[in-house]
Amino acid sequence: MALRTLDARRAEALEALCELLVPGSGRVGPVVYIDAVLTAMPPEVRTGALDAIDALAPAAEGGAEALAERERTPEFGFVRALAVEAFYSDFVAPGKDGPGAWSEIDFNSPLATRLAKDWSYLGIA
């Protein structure tokens, strides 16, 4: 699936950040979800999100310890919120096997198990 907002460099950095912030999330393709959310954001908010990814990209290369040094920054909070939402919304990108987060956290109430997730509102089929 082609990304609409993230370029290859930012997508790679964001993938590493998501995995550091929400270990195991890479299996569901959180970058696809976040790219769709970024695309729908107002331009000034999108710019802020892209700047946050850029600010944290060097820390992602340095691993968990380097990222921990940035944990009290607004950029960290913004990217962490995106990573958590991408995973715990139970999103699984097209072409990814998952499983989604809900099965991992045993979120299986009768209503949740009947829910048919439709990501088309984000432009993801």
Bond preceding residue 110 cis, omega within 30 of 0: no
Does 100 have pLDDT greater than 90?
no
| pLDDT given for residue 114 in this prediction | 75
- 48 burial (CB, 10 Å; 0-12 / 13-18 / 19+) is middle
Percent of the chain with pLDDT over 90: 73
For the record, the structure tokens of 124 come out as 């993801």
Does 74 have pLDDT greater than 90?
yes
Work out the average pLDDT over 1-14. Answer: 94
Average pLDDT, the chain: 92
Q: What is the pLDDT of residues 8-47, one digit of tens each?
A: 999 999 999 999 999 999 999 999 999 999 999 999 999 9
- Residue 108 — pLDDT band, cuts 50, 70, 90? confident
60: helix, strand or coil = helix
| pLDDT given for residue 18 in this prediction | 97
Largest CA distance in the chain: 43
Contacts with 23 (C-beta within 8 Å, 6 or more apart), sequence order: none
